[in-house]
Structure 1
Amino acid sequence: MFLIVDDDLAIRTSLKLLLKQAGYPAQAVATPAEALAAVREALPELVLLDMNFSLATTGHDGLALLRQLKELAPQVPVVLITGWGSIELAVAGMKAGAAEFVTKPWHNDSLLQTIGTVLALQQAPATPTAPAGPANPRHQLDQQFHFQPIIGHDARLLYILRQVGQVAATDAAVLIEGESGTGKELIAEAIHRNSHRARQPFVKVNLGGISASLFESEMFGHRRGAFTDAKTDRVGRFELANGGTIFLDEIGELELASQVKLLRVLQDRTYEVLGDSKPRRLDIRVIAATNRNLAEMVAQGCFREDLFYRINLIAVRLPALRERPADIPLLTQHFIAELRATYQRPALKVGARALHWLREQPLPGNIRELKNLVERAVLVSGHEELGPEDFQANALPATTQPGPAPGELPAPGSMTLDELESHMIRQSLVHYAGNISRVARALGLSRGALYRRLEKHGIPYDA
């Protein structure tokens, strides 16, 4: 049984009918006192709570009632209903323990999808048991889920994979946090691959590379003639992802003006193509990733708190490679196997002393840096068995240097300014093992500005 709490008879009636048609029996009440009495009599499976009570009628507000409900029945999930202008109230409700929030006027499909997600999360363990021994080996996870591209047996990684497996079956928004090079995109792909959307598109968007002026065109698409340079129709990223999963990488780099537009879409699940005023519905799963501390950015006013709560229903924190050193030999052997085929060196292997040396390295660029280090050693060394000296000769300094990689600049006049810029960026990417943050600092750019230059020059990168 669901419990609907709203002082508007029309809303109570429409919600009760919608839930009945979806197979959810519901009881509807009009006041906080009735709501508390209903919960005391029989615990509901879920509560739909309107936050905008009339104070003159009830003497209570939705936030006060939410706190009372969570104190009375902390295990019962509460979905808040609020107006768009009261999202700050909804955020306060999330802090007070609400599971999710929707805004009025809602779309029935979106509301039912939100309810389904909350119920699915309620059934899954909130904190999976960390696999600490032989009872939960990696091969058991691989039999249950599709995690094959992810290498490692470390307990921290297995804990994360179990968490990923549990939330993949839902449509819950997931925020993946971790340092650059820790494999955030691989985890996002694993969530999609293990979900009911696996046969639908997986669309990656690097938000750090999209300026505020281009955000709507890139994300929503445009019609020919919508603005001066719109010479043809363009399909937006949301439309490309419809029915599947959209991966919003580097969401911490998104400018504030664009954050508002993104929040609207994620909340309403509708958007408009530039030059076409007809609203379009979205059916997508949202996964976001960042290597920044979004909670700190919220406190500093650099990231919207309401957007943070919208994307952060489930948080997955990836450990740095130095936090799981036992996986370094496994990853190294995996890269060696790939490189044997790439460079046609079937006898190539890495010695035990070299593996021990690699385990002791800080590797600030994490898995990406390890892969680059192994490949450089393979390219430069003529040995069939790589030793520590093969890696030491090609290792980068552990500390960040003040500028890009040392090397001779092209002769004056031999390159255009654009070609020189591309050359410097490529040189720095090699020198800093693809670490975007270090490259940006070395070149005196923000991460967002660097991403835009990478897109401009068609330079491949992995955030």
Structure 2
Amino acid sequence: MDNVLVVDDNVAICQALALMLELNGYHALYCHTEVDAKNIVAQQDISLVIQDMNFSADTTSGTEGKRLFFALRDIQPGLPIILITAWTQLEMAVELVKQGSADYMSKPWDDDKLLTSIGNLISLHKLTQSNKKLVKAEAERNVAIVDADLCGLVYASGTMQRIVDLTLQLANSDVSVLVTGPNGAGKDKIADILHANSPLRDKPLIKVNIGALPSELMEAELFGAEVGAFTGATKARVGRFEAANGGTLFLDEIGNLPLSGQVKLLRVLQTGEYERLGSSQTRKCNVRLISATNADLKADIAEGTFREDLYYRLNVIELRVPALCDRVDDIVPLTQHFIGPEFSLSKTTQKALNSHLWPGNVRELQNACKRAVLLARENKLAAVDFGLSDAVDEIRVSAPNHDDISKDEIVAAMKAHDGVIARVAKSVGLSRQALYRRLDKFGITR
């Protein structure tokens, strides 16, 4: 309920206005002096003030009202103030309107007109204050981004801006973050930003690509190994958890971790304790864990290849990095970054780049840019330099028209594949991210 303050030395006027306000859904307060009015505005949340122009007996100059008007505006800039005045102060009321007063009315007032003015002014004031808060928040966000270390990330899309905002917000926390998205989309860059803007920025950031490790060496790589723990172990090995102690550990392709490794990883996350391979000595570590995957871990859980309890330990917060084809606004800025300032792009080339589906995402684009720079015959690069001259039209023809995929087709595919997203997406010719969007669009329960 909005608080409206009435300031008038006439008790009957205050009571009449207060009754009118209360009957129309406002909370009315009233007082009779300048001092009381200033104290109330300074101490309470007032949405609008209705004030007289004179507060002393036999005073008709309006100077008291003028003085109070500016005093209230000093206390709360932008506060809507309606002046109730006798005709003798009409000229001064008009002057104050020019100085920023919201409205003025003569005594006796018209209830309907006054109520309309009150409603409009309070609504306008709320909108103005809301816009100011949004502008302030945007300015603060921009300052935060300017001051942040984005680790060379290049983007222009609103989608990536939202991901960057959330990444910077999470950087100061110590929660485990799961970064998801297709191969080559930039998941490792998000991990870099999380660490670079965290309180651990001066501590080690250790990266492990689980998918590149032989399964028989994976546990030794993560937790370390003693001499003789396995064939060829001629010296003790420091594990990645030990190396990252006090800092950040980034486990890429976490979905490839075997079940035996998952059990040990879960224990570390729960207790901070582990043993090197071939040792019974319990060690302790304190790391901030960031993991990443391009797999559908929920489908892996359903198939029994990934532990559900570990999934929820890893996925306190999920950051989903979309495929490059789902953030087209990033393609040209990334291309210009990769080719450097000595090369430029024609409009036709930009269109060809934006039309390509980039199944390999940013990594594929970066490789295409290396090719273009090496094969360029002039500084303005053509589509053929990127290998796109004929490929664009072929891709457009062969690519499924996603808009033609109906709700019934998706429901049928979900039933046929028991809701396993990776299989459903493949059967209807969509990426997992595109399928998730259509599930949301059609209101289909996953």
Q: Which residue number in structure 2 is paired with residue 269 of structure 1?
A: 272
Q: How does 1:313-352 map to 2 (within 5 A)?
A: 313-337=316-340, 346=342, 348-352=343-347
Cα distance change, pair 369–136 in 1 and its aligned pair in 2 (3 A): farther
Contact kept, 8 Å, 2:225 with 2:277, in 1: the verdict is yes
Cα distance change, pair 394–253 in 1 and its aligned pair in 2 (3 A): farther
Note the alpha carbon deviations across 1:363-400, whole angstroms, 9 max, x for none: 1111111111111122122221112232225969859x
In structure 2, which of residues 336, 358, 365 is the aligned counterpart of residue 370 of structure 1? 365
> 225-234 or 385-394, which moves further after superposition?
385-394
Cα distance change, pair 148–247 in 1 and its aligned pair in 2 (3 A): closer
Q: Which residue number in structure 1 is paired with residue 309 of structure 2?
A: 306
Q: CA deviation at 1:190?
A: 0.4
Give me the whole-angstrom Cα distance separating, in 2, the residues matched to 1:200 and 1:216: 23
Give me the whole-angstrom Cα distance separating, in 1, the residues matched to 2:395 and 2:217: 37
Count of matched residue pairs: 263
Cα distance change, pair 367–137 in 1 and its aligned pair in 2 (3 A): farther
In structure 2, which of residues 209, 212, 222 is the aligned counterpart of residue 209 of structure 1? 212
Q: CA deviation at 1:300?
A: 2.0
In structure 2, which of residues 373, 376, 395 is the aligned counterpart of residue 381 of structure 1? 376
Cα distance change, pair 388–136 in 1 and its aligned pair in 2 (3 A): farther
Cα distance change, pair 388–228 in 1 and its aligned pair in 2 (3 A): closer
Q: Which residue number in structure 2 is paired with residue 152 of structure 1?
A: 155
Contact kept, 8 Å, 2:210 with 2:257, in 1: the verdict is yes
> 383-392 or 305-314, which moves further after superposition?
383-392
Q: How does 1:368-447 map to 2 (within 5 A)?
A: 368-391=363-386, 392-393=388-389
Contact kept, 8 Å, 1:206 with 1:249, in 2: the verdict is yes
1:386 maps to a residue whose letter is: L
2:192 maps to a residue whose letter is: E
Q: Which has the higher contact order (CA 8 A, sep 6+)?
A: 1
Contact kept, 8 Å, 1:212 with 1:257, in 2: the verdict is no
Matched, 1:165 2:168: yes
In structure 1, which of residues 169, 192, 195 is the aligned counterpart of residue 198 of structure 2? 195
Matched, 1:357 2:352: yes
Give me the whole-angstrom Cα distance separating, in 2, the residues matched to 1:232 and 1:217: 12
Give me the whole-angstrom Cα distance separating, in 2, the residues matched to 1:213 and 1:374: 37
Give me the whole-angstrom Cα distance separating, in 1, the residues matched to 2:188 and 2:182: 12
2:355 maps to a residue whose letter is: E
Q: CA deviation at 1:185?
A: 0.2
Matched, 1:250 2:253: yes
Cα distance change, pair 173–279 in 1 and its aligned pair in 2 (3 A): same
Cα distance change, pair 197–135 in 1 and its aligned pair in 2 (3 A): closer
Cα distance change, pair 140–362 in 1 and its aligned pair in 2 (3 A): farther
Q: How does 1:81-160 map to 2 (within 5 A)?
A: 135=138, 140-160=143-163
Q: Where in structure 2 are there 5+ consecutive unaligned residues?
A: 1-133, 397-446
Contact kept, 8 Å, 2:208 with 2:250, in 1: the verdict is yes
Contact kept, 8 Å, 2:151 with 2:189, in 1: the verdict is no
Q: CA deviation at 1:238?
A: 0.8
Q: Which residue number in structure 1 is paired with residue 123 of structure 2?
A: none
Contact kept, 8 Å, 2:186 with 2:362, in 1: the verdict is yes
In structure 2, which of residues 285, 290, 308 is the aligned counterpart of residue 287 of structure 1? 290
Q: How does 1:4-43 map to 2 (within 5 A)?
A: none
Give me the whole-angstrom Cα distance separating, in 2, the residues matched to 1:373 and 1:290: 24
Contact kept, 8 Å, 2:371 with 2:385, in 1: the verdict is no
1:373 maps to a residue whose letter is: A
Contact kept, 8 Å, 2:151 with 2:192, in 1: the verdict is no
Give the 3-state SS of the residue equivalent to 1:222 in structure 2: coil
Q: Which residue number in structure 2 is paired with residue 233 of structure 1?
A: 236
Note the alpha carbon deviations across 1:95-140, whole angstroms, 9 max, x for none: xxxxxxxxxxxxxxxxxxxxxxxxxxxxxxxxxxxx99x9469854
Cα distance change, pair 147–138 in 1 and its aligned pair in 2 (3 A): farther
Give me the whole-angstrom Cα distance separating, in 1, the residues matched to 2:349 and 2:369: 11
- Give the aligned CA root-mean-square deviation in angstroms: 2.8
Give the 3-state SS of the residue equivalent to 2:328 in structure 1: coil
Q: CA deviation at 1:360?
A: 1.2
Q: Which residue number in structure 2 is paired with residue 447 of structure 1?
A: none
Give the 3-state SS of the residue equivalent to 2:250 in structure 1: strand
Give the 3-state SS of the residue equivalent to 2:295 in structure 1: coil
Give me the whole-angstrom Cα distance separating, in 2, the residues matched to 1:141 and 1:153: 17
Give me the whole-angstrom Cα distance separating, in 2, the residues matched to 1:330 and 1:181: 17
Cα distance change, pair 176–256 in 1 and its aligned pair in 2 (3 A): same
Give me the whole-angstrom Cα distance separating, in 1, the residues matched to 2:243 and 2:210: 16
Give me the whole-angstrom Cα distance separating, in 1, the residues matched to 2:304 and 2:139: 42
Contact kept, 8 Å, 1:182 with 1:366, in 2: the verdict is yes
Cα distance change, pair 144–360 in 1 and its aligned pair in 2 (3 A): same
Contact kept, 8 Å, 2:151 with 2:196, in 1: the verdict is no
Q: CA deviation at 1:188?
A: 0.4
Contact kept, 8 Å, 2:167 with 2:194, in 1: the verdict is yes
Give me the whole-angstrom Cα distance separating, in 2, the residues matched to 1:374 and 1:395: 16
Q: Which residue number in structure 2 is paired with residue 178 of structure 1?
A: 181
Q: CA deviation at 1:194?
A: 0.6
Give me the whole-angstrom Cα distance separating, in 2, the residues matched to 1:218 and 1:226: 12
Give me the whole-angstrom Cα distance separating, in 2, the residues matched to 1:195 and 1:383: 44
Give me the whole-angstrom Cα distance separating, in 2, the residues matched to 1:135 and 1:310: 33
Q: Which residue number in structure 2 is paired with residue 85 of structure 1?
A: none
Cα distance change, pair 322–140 in 1 and its aligned pair in 2 (3 A): farther
Contact kept, 8 Å, 1:152 with 1:327, in 2: the verdict is yes
Give the 3-state SS of the residue equivalent to 1:235 in structure 2: coil
Bigger share in helix: 2
